[in-house]
Amino acid sequence: MLSLESITKTTQDWLFAKFSPQIALTIECVIVILLAITLFAVLGLVLVLLERKVAARIQIRLGPNRVGPGGIFQTAADTLKLIMKEGLTPDAADKFLFNLAPFIVMMVAMLLLAPIAFAKNFQIWDINIGVLYISSVSSLSVIGILMAGWASNNKYSLLGAMRSGAQIVSYELSAGFAVLTIVVLTGSLQISDIVAAQENGWWLFKGHIPVIIAFVLYIIAVTAETNRAPFDLAEAESELTAGFHTEYSGMKFALFFLAEYINIFIVCAIGATLFLGGWMPLHIGHWENFNHVMDYIPSSVWFMVKTFFLIFLIMWFRWTFPRLRVDQLLNLEWKYLLPISLFNLLLVTVIAIMGWYF
Amino acid sequence: MFLKDYISEVYNGVSSLLKGMRKTGYYFTHSKEIITEQYPDNRATLKLADRFKGEVVMPHDENNEHTCTGCTACELACPNGTIKIITKFDITPEGKKKKAIDAFIYRLEMCTLCNLCVAACPSDAIKMAPNFEHSVFDRSKLTKILNNPGSKIKEGIE
């Protein structure tokens, strides 16, 4: 059967048979880089269109429907426009940092792609500290945002960047605790182990109450971490024009925009891996026939369906809830999410020790 | 007591957020709720709100009769001189003279569609119509005479 696993294996065998190990490895790296860039470009186009369509449907509108059938080429046309626009650098800006910031944000998004398991045995880098790597690297993206805000030499940009800093520092905590509940249950930080542990049922079902609480906390925390509404204080169009990317235009703006959507994809992919079983098909206990039917659906399809379900959930939040004030934002984290997640971690530890999960 | 308040606060917050999500989720799944009109494409089937105000018209019935008595209440009510009524005297069958309108002049280019003339009319002779495609090549075409040629006042309207 043709699967991503067999394709990668055939390619690797062929490369190592043809070339010396060093050259084969270099070629593999180039292929991976090309695939990652292609994935980013496609994801950017698809997610922006999806967001606009979802927003339109929720606001009882039609959304883009003029460029191509059903408006499917709208985002491609927008990207073409952004490429042709001038990338202006303000005179008073710190030119080096100003031009570096979008690339830092983009690089962080790219680094996060490494430990994600897209399908069965289809993973760039299966490190033994996968979850730790994700939570540490994802907090680096705030550096890019702070850099953009500071280097723009613009009061709106600086305010937006500072808000973003406060936000990510606080919400990192509850996202970390939510991830820890799964680590406690699995007993491993490796992504492939976490996925393998969900073979007879996803953690969301197996871990019942504490994992459901952790899942809700995780979704709230990553919505805040990716700077999306209702936590989009860093951009806050109505207050700060465009927040940290006020001064950006052309392709540099497009990189920020793309990085936002790539980050959404990545956090949703991680959420799907931790709570919804990653590429693992839906298996219910000992229903052999049902499990067998589910196995026929390719693992990559399972992964994408779960990830896009979570992405849809986050888009749904964005077009339903109003934006929080800064004090409300920090209240929510320090007075509600953090105590609840600490208590939840205790609960899940008790459950893991007593073996009260399925 | 503190814990009870805390839990009820969390519960109320979550339930109100879920209520909002239910509403938007309903809109997302029900495409019949979409209210967008794709205007130039659906000109024939365009649906406008009943209260839409596009221009002032004077309805005539099948006998080419209107209900305007020429009282000029609308002319007086108009804040920017949009309406000008020229009256004449008709001879009734009994030989009496009766006041009637000769021309109801309506200048669309000066009209702000404020509806004051329609509200002022004692005999409901004029009303707002939903037609909004008013562009013409000559400004003078916007000055309209609302009563049809040869029309007369309906029987029994004073």
Q: Of A212-216, A348-352, B35-39, which gets the smallest average pLDDT?
A: B35-39
Omega before A230 within 30 of 0, i.e. cis:
yes
Nearest to A321 among B17, B27, B34 (CB): B17
From the centroid of its chain, how far is CA B42?
21
Coil, helix or strand at residue A167: helix
**Domain shared by A69 and A128, yes or no:** no
The CATH fold assigned to B51-153 is Alpha-Beta Plaits (3.30.70)
In the three-class reduction of DSSP (H, G, I as helix; E, B as strand; rest coil), residue B102 is classed as strand
Do residue A137 and residue A8 come from a single domain? no
DSSP alpha helix (H) spans, chain A: 4-18, 21-58, 74-84, 95-111, 130-138, 141-151, 155-186, 191-196, 203-206, 208-225, 237-240, 250-275, 288-295, 299-318, 326-331, 338-354
Contact (Cβ atoms closer than 8 angstroms) between residue A232 and residue A264? no
Q: Is A59 on the interface with B (CB under 8 A)?
A: yes
Does the pLDDT of residue B50 top 60, yes or no? yes
Instruction: Tell me if residue B90 falls in helix, strand or coil.
Output: strand
- Spell out which residues of chain B touch residue A61, defining contact as CB-CB under 8 Å: 34-36
- Tokens representing B123 are 């005999």
B25 to chain A: which residues are within 8 Å by CB? 316
Same domain, A35 and A150: no
- Chain B residues within an 8 Å CB radius of A174: none
Q: Which residues of B touch A317 (CB under 8 A)?
A: 21
Instruction: Please state the domain extents for chain B.
Output: 2-33, 51-153
In this structure, are A229 and A340 located in the same domain?
Answer: yes
Q: Which two tokens stand for residue A310?
A: 């979570």
Same structural domain, A17 and A128: no
pTM metric for this prediction:
0.81
Q: What is the pLDDT of residues B3-40, one digit of tens each?
A: 888 888 888 988 998 998 898 888 888 888 888 888 88
A220-239 pLDDT tens trace: 888 888 888 788 777 766 77
* pLDDT value, residue B137: 92
Chain A with chain B: Cβ pairs closer than 8 A: 36
Check B10 against A321: CB less than 8 A apart. no
Check CB contact under 8 Å for B27 and A58: yes
Question: For residue A2, is pLDDT > 70?
Answer: no
Calpha distance B97→B51 (Å, rounded): 39
- The answer to whether residues A42 and A139 belong to one domain is no
In a mutagenesis test of the B interface, which of A220, A320, A328 is the best target, namely the one with the most B β-carbons within 10 Å?
A: A320
CB atoms within 10 A of CB A232: 22
Decide: helix, strand or coil at residue A170: helix
List the structure tokens of A138. 């994802």
Q: Give A93-143 pLDDT, tens digit per residue.
A: 788 888 888 888 888 888 888 888 887 777 788 888 888 888 888 888 888
Tell me, yes or no, whether A28 and A103 share the same domain.
no
Consecutive H or E run containing B9:
helix B2-29
* Residues A242 and A348 reside in one and the same domain: yes
CA dihedral sign, ordered A225, A227, A232, A233: positive
Number of domains in chain A: 2
Nearest to A316 among B10, B25, B36 (CB): B25
Residue of A nearest to B36 (CA): A61
Residues whose CB falls within 8 Å of the CB of residue A354, separated by 6 or more in sequence, listed in order: none
Taking the CB of residue A139, how many other CB atoms lie within 10 A of it?
17
| Statement to judge: residues A274 and A335 lie in one domain | yes
CA–CA gap between residue B96 and residue B88 (Å, rounded) = 13
Residues A246-288 pLDDT 10s: 888 778 888 888 888 888 888 888 888 888 887 878 777 677 7
Same domain, A225 and A116: yes
- In a 10 Å sphere around its CB, with 0-12 CB exposed, 13-18 middle and 19+ buried, how is residue A271 labelled? buried
Mean pLDDT of chain A: 84
Q: Euclidean distance between the first and final Cα of chain B, in Å? A: 75
Distance from CA of B11 to the nearest CA of A (A): 11
The closest CB to that of B33, out of A60, A336, A340, belongs to A60
List CB contacts (< 8 A) between A59 and chain B: 27
Residue B89 host element (H or E) = strand B83-91
Question: Which residues of B fall below an 8 Å CB-CB distance to A?
Answer: 10, 17, 20-21, 23-25, 27-28, 31, 33-36, 38
A19 near B CB under 8 A: no
- Whether A39 has its CB under 8 Å from any CB of chain B: the answer is no
Stretch A320-332: mean pLDDT, rounded? 84
Whole-angstrom Cα distance, residue A218 to residue A207? 15
Do A67 and A138 sit in the same domain of this protein?
A: no
Contact A59 B35 (CB under 8 A): no
Cα–Cα distance for residue pair B33/A189, rounded to 1 Å? 47
Residue type, A246: T
Kindly determine whether residue B34 and residue A57, on different chains, have CB atoms separated by under 8 Å: yes
A1 has a pLDDT exceeding 60: no
Domain holding A321, by residue range, is 89-354
Residue A138 sits at the vertex; the CA angle it makes with A175 and A96, to the nearest 5 degrees, is 145
